[in-house]
DNA sequence: GAAGATTTCGAGACTCATTCTCGCTTGCCC
DNA sequence: GGGCAAGCGAGAATGAGTCTCGAAATCTTC
């Protein structure tokens, strides 16, 4: 597990290479995401750090996303969720998504499987003239509290 | 490839078991989705079948989704897209998603890979007390027309 | 370290995809 | 064929997310 100060270092570097400052607000957002054990909604972020204004949080999350520090997760639930990117945390992972409450949990898969997948997807991308950046796997189901 | 009339048969059955009628409008929507070679946005559906009112299309897509006939795909793009479910088409597949224009294309993966994946995801679900229904794999990248 | 330039902040207005409302139409059942 | 439940559709309402713009913070240059 990567330390909080390392996360801040990476964020600073990423923002720097996009001509963006690492302001106090952005720091708070990154910290909130780093401490959370699951991707957070905007409300989740502002509840964790109540000093943050809603509009600034939206703006700064967009800046952080642009700089590759955070990643936006959109589910059928109508609040987007945010997490630090793999480039920041160093951990490739996927998601369990609850269709009922929208909860998102992180999971990792065996490396061999990831390799196989990567090869297949690469081939599929080439076949369809897609410039493939990365893949995303979600297991869609019901979380513990939403189970019947 | 499954025929259009088979698609309608399945849709009829699915709706029936949810105490829903298979009305002319719903038929048009299913037909539009069946003929399209990629998931359609709401606008895409109403453009294909201009007789459809917007509000009715939204309502009927919700009904069809509830009945398991269509599936909603949400990307960062701010129009949801719809396609027939695998239960209707009989074809398990995944998506290439363009981060720029939101285009979604269908791809299939080798069966062995799907099997491996299924096992791993099943295990991950159990570990997190998730009742897993199905998985979703997206390759995120840039489509031919959005490539730099 | 002060003046000016530039960036960020935040409260509220605004946008627009989606959902809701409600009177009208359709079609099913006896 | 009358009654009634379901579906229809135009427009209003909702609300997540974006934009605006004056104020505050931060950087730059001397």
Last residue of a domain, one of A90, A113, A128: A90
Instruction: Give how far B67 is from chain A: nearest CA, Å.
Output: 15
Query: Closest partner residue to A139 among B74, B124, B138, by Cβ?
Result: B124
Give Cα separations from A51 to A32, B23, B32, B148 (angstroms): 12, 52, 48, 40
Cβ–Cβ below 8 Å for B137 and A137: yes
pLDDT at A78 over 90: no
Q: What DSSP string runs through chain B?
A: ---HHHHHHHHHHHHHTTT----HHHHHHHHHHHH-SS-EEHHHHHHHSTTS-HHHHHHHHHHHHHTTSEEEE--SSSS-EEEE-HHHH----EEEEETTT--EEEE---HHHHHHHHHHHHHHHHHTT-EEEEEEEEEEEE-GGG--
Task: Give the model's pLDDT for residue A96.
Answer: 95
Domain identity same for A135 and A124? yes
Q: Quote the distance between the C-alpha of residue B50 and its chain's center.
A: 21
Q: Are residues B7 and B39 in the same domain?
A: yes
pLDDT 10s digits, A28-77: 999 999 999 899 999 999 999 999 999 999 999 999 999 999 999 998 88
A85 and A96 part of one domain? no
Do B119 and A127 touch, CB atoms closer than 8 A? Answer: no
Together in a domain, A3 and A62: yes
Question: pLDDT tens digit string along A85-131?
Answer: 999 999 899 999 998 888 999 999 999 999 999 999 999 999 999 99
Confidence band of B134 (pLDDT split at 50, 70, 90): confident
Residues B103 and B129 in one domain: yes
CATH for B133: 3.30.1490.190
The verdict on B126 and B71 lying in the same domain is no
Residue-level pLDDT at A146: 87
- Whether A38 and chain B come into contact, CB under 8 Å, resolves to no
Contacts of B58 (CB under 8 A, 6+ apart): B42
pLDDT score, position A145: 87
Distance CA B108, CA B3 (A): 19
Which of these ranges, A19-23, A45-49, A114-118, B42-46, has the smallest mean pLDDT? A114-118
Nucleotides of C under 7 A from a protein CB: 7-13, 17-21, 27-28
Say whether both A49 and A5 belong to one domain: yes
- Of A70, A90, A110, the position where a domain reaches its end is A90
Residues of chain B in contact with residue A125, where contact means CB-CB under 8 angstroms, are 96, 139, 141
- Indicate if B80 and B136 belong to the same structural domain: no
Is residue A86 domain-shared with residue A96, that is, in the same domain?
no
Query: For residue B132, is pLDDT > 80?
Result: no
Answer with the one of A61, A90, A119 that is the final residue of a domain. A90
- Measured in angstroms, what separates residue B8's CA from nucleotide D1's C1'? 32
Domain that holds residue B48: 1-91
In this prediction, residues B21-39 reach a mean pLDDT of 96
Residues B113 and B71 in one domain: no
Count of domains forming chain A: 2
Q: Specify whether A73 is located in the same domain as A107.
A: no
Instruction: Please indicate, yes or no, whether residues A63 and A117 belong to a single structural domain of this protein.
Output: no
């Amino acid at each position: 597990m990567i330390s909080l100060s390392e996360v801040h270092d990476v964020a600073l570097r990423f923002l720097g290479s996009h001509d963006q400052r690492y302001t106090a607000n952005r720091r708070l957002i990154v910290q909130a995401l780093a401490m959370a054990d699951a991707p957070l909604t905007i409300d989740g972020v502002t509840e964790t750090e109540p000093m943050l204004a809603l509009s600034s949080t939206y703006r700064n999350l967009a800046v952080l996303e642009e700089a590759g520090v955070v990643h936006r997760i959109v589910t059928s639930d109508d609040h987007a969720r945010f997490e630090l990117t793999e480039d920041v945390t160093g951990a490739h992972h996927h998601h369990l998504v609850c269709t009922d409450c929208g909860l998102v949990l992180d999971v990792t898969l065996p490396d061999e499987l990831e390799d196989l997948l990567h090869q297949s997807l690469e081939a599929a991308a080439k076949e369809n003239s897609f410039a493939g950046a990365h893949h995303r796997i979600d297991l869609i189901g019901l979380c513990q509290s939403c189970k019947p």
